[in-house]
Structure 1
Amino acid sequence: MNRVIELDPEEALLRQGQGALLVDVRENSERAAGLPVGAIALPLGQVAARIHEHADTERELLLICAAGARSLRAATQLQALGYARVASIRGGCGAWRVHALPWAQALEPADFLERYDRHLRLPQVGLEGQRRLQRARVAIIGAGGLGSPVALYLAAAGVGHIRLIDDDRVDRSNLQRQVLHTEAAVGDYKVDSARERLLALNPTLDLDTRASRIDAANIERLLDGVELVIDGSDNFPTRYLISDACVQLRLPLVYGAVERFSGQVSVFAAGLRRGQSPCYRCLFPEPPLEAPNCAEAGVLGVLPGLIGMLQATEALKWLLGIGRALDGRLLSVDALGMVFRELQVPVDPECVVCAPGRVFGGYFDYEQSCSAR
């Protein structure tokens, strides 16, 4: 293997003008102050795996880092892959700026690059994926046991616009599992308590809180403008209402439920893929005549955290377009035995809501037929 050529910044700039590709191999978080004009950003850990997306083996490549050490390593890696025309820039970006060569300011603020550094390192996320999360608009229904971990993790992950809907107030009995809230918030609206906690975690968040109880008259208005809905409710009337609305509004729904020591998670995308993906009614066509909620049956305090984190995971995967969603699958969790089971959820061709060609008959009020919150 040939020794890697090192170029002074001025020579590198000249070659760049003649068609060479300048590759900045620093970490994304290091680019808070910008990068050389015309350079592509490809961190050292991704160079070998992704350089083919930008250049073939015949193109001349100029590698630059902070001071020159990492660019030498990257050049060695590329030589081993068959890239013969490779050079490292002596002194790196420090020397580039000392010589006052063309420099582009970063498109993202330093806070963005630092805060989401671990996401930016993931090839499945990267800068474009993080920007996608920043643009995303998500509704979380319920700021209780499930909504707490969902909201915390989506806010921390950089989901830019979160609408949190809950009409309840914080009760001391909530604190055993609803980790958004504290003793000081007892008596306050949950959405107000959540606002304080979430903005303390991520002040860049666009948080839209609604102290409203969802019903047939307001659900479409409350879900207007979002692209994904996460169900953190704790009763059957609300679940059916949310599911029906998501089918009508063509929205994907991330479902979660807990009771005592067990929980469930799924994704219902019938609103986007009628006849191909199920809705909640395909799984449960009718609500049970009697079903206790958490206040009546009890729930292990950590269980909503587990299920809520799984919901947040499914939401992030969906927003990023990565992995395999739980669409058409129900993940069942038995916390006592720590057993996870996966069940297939087929599409019901006779579903009263999501069957292809089915005319929507309006929202039905189940408050009289199954237990309410």
Structure 2
Amino acid sequence: MTISGAHWAELNAHIFPGDRDEHGAVLRCGIAGSRLLVREVIRAVDGRDYVPGTSSYRRLTADFITGQALRFAEDNSVYVAVHNHGGDDEVEFSDIDLGSHERSYPALLQITGAPAVGALVFAKNAVAGDIWTADGARRPLEKLVIAGPFRRELYPAPRARQAALPAYNRQALLFGAAGQDILRRQKIAIIGLGGAGSLINEEVARLGVGHLILIDADRIETSNLSRVVGATRFDAHTWLTGEDRPAWMRQLGGRLTAPKVRIGKRVAKQASRHARVDIVRSNVEDAGVWKQLTDCDHIFLAADSHTARLLVNAIAHQYLIPVTQVGAKAQVEGAGDVAAVYSVSRLIEPGQTCLRCNGLISSTKLTQEATPPAERKRQRYVDDADVHAPSVIALNAVAASIAVNEWLMRTVGLARRAITPDWVTVDALHGEYNLDGARQDQDCPWCGPRRYGQGDALELPVKIR
């Protein structure tokens, strides 16, 4: 189960207000594969919705349960009841709890029409779950992930951790064997293996991330060699693709050059031979590609297209996966004057920050990118893919390192403050480091309630080929 930091704060404050008593609530959840996504926390009012029981200490009233179940039936949301026990680091259901589930959950499955119903019981630092599915199975909850602003994982009891490998001894001095074990269990996607993405790939691989997904449709070009980590002249087949070569030879060389994702995999495996590295030589918006992102722990978006921004922004809110959009830009005016040079790192926190709300997804650019190349050329779009902007490895490195460092500090639990509202812009011309507050529109179709936590129930804006 995944829950946002805001919903976790609301739930935790309700069931642990400091009175050492038991309290109840219900979670409204979406579903994504085998993950439950918390969309809403409904607090049960003590003495009205959560009352003394006859065979148990406390119970949710029948009216409260039925009312929420009928409301959830409107969109087949998953009903999950919540209460707390005493203790700190271990928790389990009582026999009375389990008996109550056996009496009521088959009926709740029918009322809601959802794929599952269930219950959670909390201690201060632990959670156990009993999940009933429509196929007649009954499953325990593996873990609860609190997605942000400080990432945490709760289990029924403390879990055994793998000791840090010798290669990570020096960084484990900072965040410990426990932090290194968290990194080993992370699944990270990097979209775009160009200047910024290739740097992110090497950094997270050297940190010891256990599973990487690299997505990019492009092959390496000679002009990429100055900024793509690990790329060689052999990868670019420079002896075939040079400007002094015949057209047929350059065309042949272009077909033989290495895909960027293959270079990225080579770099990642050289950095960490224990890492699992999956490569996808395609655009993220192509049909089927996005499905590999929906169970990631974090996504780094280093692709330039607005179509990719639209899709990944939607995935962040629909599947409750934090995303960091990174990039660098140098603007040169017609006379050759340098107008702006900056690097950016923008954290998209589910339910909190959104690229669309902040004007970073252009309808005009989306239209251009959806137009076939021949038609785009005929209409003479200025911002065509054939028009290259300046790109410098040092600018990319600033954006990549800020993005990875913020993700790292949040993930291993070292961050001292919530960084959710702040998007970072580094102005290289003026030597300024700016924190830009991000806005959120209440009625936004991409980050608002209509999409938030819906998981597999809602279609994504993907391209069909």
Distance 2:435 2:384 in 1: 24
Query: Are 1:169 and 2:219 matched, yes or no?
Result: yes
Which residue in 1 is equivalent to 2:349?
Answer: 269
Distance 1:119 1:212 in 2: 34
Q: Work out which of the residue numbers 126, 135, 140 in structure 1 matches 2:185.
A: 135
Q: How does 1:73-222 map to 2 (within 5 A)?
A: 112-122=164-174, 125-186=175-236, 187-215=257-285, 217-222=287-292
Give 3-state SS (helix, strand or coil) of 1:264's partner.
strand
Q: 1:294-329 deviations in whole A, cap 9, x for unaligned? A: 952212331111111111112212322331454221
Distance 2:294 2:165 in 1: 31
Residues 1:117 and 1:289: Cα distance change in structure 2 (over 3 Å): same
Q: 1:20-58 deviations in whole A, cap 9, x for unaligned? A: xxxxxxxxxxxxxxxxxxxxxxxxxxxxxxxxxxxxxxx
Kept in 2, the 8 Å contact 1:352–1:358? The answer is yes
Displacement after TM superposition at 1:165 (Å): 0.8
Distance 1:145 1:241 in 2: 21
Kept in 2, the 8 Å contact 1:259–1:294? The answer is no
Distance 2:434 2:260 in 1: 33
Kept in 2, the 8 Å contact 1:240–1:281? The answer is yes
Displacement after TM superposition at 1:224 (Å): 3.4
Kept in 2, the 8 Å contact 1:175–1:183? The answer is yes
Q: Work out which of the residue numbers 385, 397, 400 in structure 2 matches 1:305.
A: 397
Which residue in 2 is equivalent to 1:352?
Answer: 445
Percent of aligned pairs sharing the same letter: 25
Distance 1:314 1:132 in 2: 15
Q: 1:79-126 deviations in whole A, cap 9, x for unaligned? A: xxxxxxxxxxxxxxxxxxxxxxxxxxxx857xx43211122212xx10
Distance 1:285 1:174 in 2: 25
Which residue in 2 is equivalent to 1:22?
Answer: none
Kept in 2, the 8 Å contact 1:216–1:364? The answer is no
Distance 1:268 1:347 in 2: 11
Which structure has the highest strand share of the two?
2
Give 3-state SS (helix, strand or coil) of 1:258's partner.
strand
Distance 1:210 1:310 in 2: 25
Where does structure 1 lack aligned partners over 5 or more consecutive residues?
A: 1-106, 368-373
Distance 2:360 2:401 in 1: 27
Distance 1:366 1:328 in 2: 31
Residues 1:251 and 1:178: Cα distance change in structure 2 (over 3 Å): same
Kept in 1, the 8 Å contact 2:317–2:451? The answer is no
Kept in 2, the 8 Å contact 1:155–1:201? The answer is yes
Kept in 2, the 8 Å contact 1:266–1:331? The answer is yes
Kept in 1, the 8 Å contact 2:297–2:322? The answer is yes
Query: Are 1:296 and 2:388 matched, yes or no?
Result: yes
Distance 1:141 1:363 in 2: 17
Give 3-state SS (helix, strand or coil) of 1:282's partner.
coil
Query: Are 1:287 and 2:362 matched, yes or no?
Result: yes
Question: Which amino acid letter does the alignment assign opposite residue 332 of structure 1?
Answer: T
Kept in 2, the 8 Å contact 1:253–1:269? The answer is yes
> How does the TM-score come out when normalised to structure 2?
0.50
Distance 2:463 2:391 in 1: 24
Displacement after TM superposition at 1:234 (Å): 1.4
Paired residues in the alignment total 253
